[in-house]
Structure 1
Amino acid sequence: MKRADIVLRRCRQVLTCQGVAPKRGGDLANVGLQENVSLAIGEGKIIYLGPDEDLFATVATGSATEILEAENLIVLPGFIDSHTHLPFAGSREEEFALRLQGYTYQELAARGLGIQTTVKATREIPEDKLLELCLARCDSMLLHGTTTAEAKSGYGLNLADEIKQLEVIRQANQIHPLDILPTYLGAHEVPPEYKGNKKAYLNFMINKVLPVIKEKNLARFVDVFCEEGVYDLEETRFIIRAAKKMGLAPRIHADEFSPLGGARLAVEEEALSADHLLAIDDQGIALLAQSSTVATFLPVVSLFLMQEKKAPARELIQAGAVVAIASDFNPGSSMTENMLLVIQLAVLLLKMKIEEAINAATINAAFSLGISQACGSLEVGKKADLILCDIPNYLHLVYHLGVNPIYHVIKNGRWVVRERKLVYLRPSNF
């Protein structure tokens, strides 16, 4: 009999989001709802989930076991944010104000704003200061229910500063309770020093940067901004194949502004995810539906950039594609680390069902990162990453806008947020 460290008794609702394989089609709307059940945690994992009357016959408790009466709480898996640009410096509110005046994302980039603004700021900031920024953002993520996040480089665009970003991601992962999975995104833009000579920059990434990343084991994934005026299909394929040889799993910024065929390429190259997809064509939808590549929607971007076009979520879901949602947290097109806002916008802008959006932010997001066997759902044997909300029922996650319902957060079986306050201990030198 396993000993419990934490017991949550008689939870009003538990959304288990159960399943290792990704949820598709009609199953995406099944959140595995259980009511008035108890949950026990031991050694960082879920060791019991079921009727309260069977709890104490199944798990052992002792003086060190904390028992919480949870009859007024809604429990669900911690959110998994599978697309962020976490380690950046500076902000771009002036650019945001210009966009409110009618300038497009592409027009601003042509004026030297956009990604290059953040590249300059990120190159200039010392590593320790960038780490401080990241840790503060991770705290905010945790307070809003995110327990695992992917994080991309891509604001260095040279050897020293791409490595700096990835080193900061590694340090943040070691220091902070959040699990942070690193992605190399050197192909986010062409840096100014290589303007007009993209081929040289491609060779630089492959011959100079990727070998260092491999040697230092700094990234799990590679990503490319596959878009007109940035990296075309063959350039994207070139980078991905080189990175795959070095053990990095591909992800792609695909078909955001133009139907270039990024989704098709993602399927052909067996990418874990194809993200954005506002301009995906019918062939891309059909190919994603027949594959295990995850279609990841970033609905905050549509709001932030005031785009009329939205990702065709309903079409992809009905076709049978695996779908996830993520924040795309970055200073230019989605300045939020709040996954609950992502869920709300997936429902209100993309017409996803509430249950679909919750699964897309948990078990399917975990699948897109290759970690769904360990987290993303509440099941015996999985990591105890869960959030507790003080709301009447789970529909209030979307119904009640503009407030944070996250009351407690448990990460790896330990309290990290209690009554909306951070309670984890950070090393004394941070």
Structure 2
Amino acid sequence: MDALELLVRNTSEVLTLEGSHRERAETALTPRAGACVGIRHGRIAFVGQESELPPNAVNLQTQVLDAEGGFVGPGFVDPHTHLVFAGERSAEFDLRNQGATYLEIAKAGGGIVSTVRATRAASEDDLVRLALPRVQRLLAQGVTVAEVKSGYGLDVENELKMLRVVRRLRALAPVELVPTLLCAHAVPEEYRGRREDYVRLCIDEILPAVAREGLARFCDVFVEDSAFTVDEARRILTAGRALGLVPRLHADQLTACGASELAAEMGAATADHLEQVTDAGLRALADANVTAVLVPTSTLFLRMRPYAPGRRIRDAGLNIALGTNVNPGSAMSENTALAMGLACLENGLTAAEAYWAATRGAALSLGLQRNGRLAVGDAGDLVMFSCASYRHLPYHLGVGHARTVVKSGRVVLRQELNSCG
């Protein structure tokens, strides 16, 4: 073996996540007690006991990191974010605290359309400047990969602008960003009463323009009474798929509207939210092998019930991913630790299931076979935590414990954190 470029040692355990979501989660995490991890050329090159390292694996050029008895796992993968936007909606937050509902605020001209107005008015440089600190806050939680949606432009020029911002951010921050087109997020104000014209704009102009520039990997639609119908979503997703964009859906968040069944019909990569999913919807998703993306911070932030039935989803055999859904209206938080805690407290997952969902489950939902795992040949993305067990993460509610973050074999974040008890 050639010399390692980086070695992490003195761990309590290393979670390699080499199992499957169909196994018991504690087994799927495949913990390796006291193991060390070696990286070469940005990839995992060794996982095992330090005594098992080949001769000459470590030399004077190897960077050696001391985990100080903390556990090590793959970088978190956030599969659902809206990181790029302008403006803020704290006034709406206050209205909700006084009893207004999300739909009431949207019908009064607030909600997504208010962010659309601010985002359209912002320049590309403005949006980069505003989004970069959000990316950095995700990184501080241990996130090394994040999906990012458009959806606050809602016309050709501004949807392209948002996705170009995502492309620029990829060169500015040590977090791998996966772009999703969400032009079907809401019907913009200028198309009220002409929703069919906007659906045609998405299909005939926005989707082809995005595909020509190669700006997105996925196409997403918000299916809801206040957004798009199942039929409209089917048409948009079909058009996107013909252009090489993989379908995803915001599904059954506020009402059971048939979106989960559509996700199954379309062979979507994910169905996200699922607070109102029916048993029939769950069966359809399971049969079609669609990943369920839970975003419990949104349910908390909107003061809504119920939370997505994570226990039922897990027991139905679906792969589960867990995201922050950071956005200005329904989840103004980049706190992965909070999402994990809520996944356990309110969605009914175990600590191991929540950890899987925030790492390997999320990576698979994005089609990233070499992320969210620490097997030889995988991406050299890992986090050294200040606690000895992953179980501490959801238990210590809302508190991040990422001490050191490594992306592609390079240390990109160090934080002075005391070891946890």
Equivalent residue for 1:292, pick from 283, 289, 292: 289
Partner Cα distance (2:295, 2:4) in 1: 38
* Residue number in structure 2 paired with 1:62: 59
Equivalent residue for 1:370, pick from 367, 377, 387: 367
For residues 99-118 of structure 1, the C-alpha deviation after alignment (integer angstroms, 9 at most, x for no partner) is 00010000111111100110
C-alpha displacement of 1:374: 1.3
Please say if 1:130 is aligned against 2:105.
Answer: no
1:154, 1:185 within 8 Å by CA — same for their partners in 2? yes
Equivalent residue for 1:41, pick from 39, 42, 52: 39
For the structure 1 residues 277 and 25, does the alpha-carbon distance in structure 2 shift closer, same or farther, using more than 3 Å as the test? farther
TM (normalized to structure 1)? 0.94
Q: Mind listing any 5+ residue stretches in structure 2 that lack a counterpart?
A: none
Q: Secondary structure at the match of 2:308?
A: coil
Q: Secondary structure at the match of 1:155?
A: coil
Partner Cα distance (2:169, 2:13) in 1: 33
Partner Cα distance (1:157, 1:187) in 2: 8
Map residues 107-146 of structure 1 onto 2, 5 A cutoff: 107-146=104-143
C-alpha displacement of 1:392: 3.3
Identity of aligned residues (%): 41
C-alpha displacement of 1:393: 2.4
* Residue number in structure 1 paired with 2:4: 4
Partner Cα distance (2:47, 2:333) in 1: 33
* Residue number in structure 1 paired with 2:72: 75
* Residue number in structure 2 paired with 1:327: 324
For residues 257-276 of structure 1, the C-alpha deviation after alignment (integer angstroms, 9 at most, x for no partner) is 11111111101100000001
Please say if 1:150 is aligned against 2:147.
Answer: yes
* Residue number in structure 2 paired with 1:399: 395
Please say if 1:262 is aligned against 2:259.
Answer: yes
| C-alpha RMSD of the superposition | 1.4
Partner Cα distance (1:392, 1:210) in 2: 47
Partner Cα distance (1:343, 1:223) in 2: 24
Counterpart amino acid of residue 34 in structure 1: R
For the structure 1 residues 325 and 402, does the alpha-carbon distance in structure 2 shift closer, same or farther, using more than 3 Å as the test? closer
1:29, 1:356 within 8 Å by CA — same for their partners in 2? no
For the structure 1 residues 287 and 420, does the alpha-carbon distance in structure 2 shift closer, same or farther, using more than 3 Å as the test? farther
C-alpha displacement of 1:336: 0.9
Q: Secondary structure at the match of 1:11?
A: coil
Partner Cα distance (2:416, 2:375) in 1: 25
Map residues 236-315 of structure 1 onto 2, 5 A cutoff: 236-315=233-312
Q: Mind listing any 5+ residue stretches in structure 1 that lack a counterpart?
A: 422-430
* Residue number in structure 2 paired with 1:411: 407
* Residue number in structure 2 paired with 1:427: none
Partner Cα distance (2:331, 2:264) in 1: 26
Equivalent residue for 2:336, pick from 327, 339, 352: 339
Please say if 1:23 is aligned against 2:21.
Answer: yes
For residues 24-75 of structure 1, the C-alpha deviation after alignment (integer angstroms, 9 at most, x for no partner) is 3634763111111111111101100011111143x62222111223242211
Partner Cα distance (1:133, 1:400) in 2: 29
TM (normalized to structure 2)? 0.96
